[in-house]
Amino acid sequence: MYKKILLAVDLGDEDSLLPLLKEAEALASSHNAELHVLTVVPSYTMPLVGSFFPPDYEQNAMTAAREALIKFLDDNAEVPGAMKGHVAHGTIYDEIMKAADKFGCDLIMLAAHRPALRDYLLGPNAARVVRHANQSVFVVRR
């Protein structure tokens, strides 16, 4: 049913990383699907905020994220070479949807925190992806 799956991960959310990866690997394996793993380095929401960081901060953050993603996949994936890792920079929910479209994915997988009163049902990124993505979205609760 699924040919290409985009797994969106937050490298800072260690509690959900491994269970989410295992779930995605199992699903990709059962469908013989290509698995893309994406992490997003958030951009500054206001130029004023960015002016307080060194000029090479974003590039350094992208490099660090790329290295962390490679290490995570090498250390935890059943077959690390069987998936493609990607790092994007921008608004998290927007970059997830852009990547899914760009790679031709037919499913997006991501984690969401258990609902709290302030979240209502899903966190803001997961909720936006669910509402606006062109693909089916599989939300894994943690």
pLDDT of residue 117: 46
CB 116 within 8 A of CB 124: no
Q: Taking 50 as the threshold, does the pLDDT of residue 12 lie above it? A: yes
User: 128: part of which helix (H) or strand (E)?
Assistant: helix 124-132
- Which pLDDT tens digit goes with each residue over 77-122? 998 788 999 999 999 999 999 999 999 999 999 988 655 544 444 5
pLDDT: which is higher, 123 or 57 = 57
- Which pLDDT tens digit goes with each residue over 59-79? 899 999 999 999 999 999 998
- Give the pairing type, strands 83-90 and 107-112: unpaired
- Average model confidence (pLDDT) across the chain: 88
CATH T-level assignment (fold) for domain 4-141: Rossmann fold (3.40.50)
pLDDT-derived band at 37 (thresholds 50, 70, 90) equals very high
pLDDT of residue 45: 65
Task: Please give the structure tokens belonging to residue 101.
Answer: 């479209």
Residue spans per domain, the chain = 4-141
Q: How many Cα atoms occupy the beta-carbon half-sphere of 7 within 13 Å? A: 27
pLDDT of residue 50: 65
pLDDT of residue 53: 77
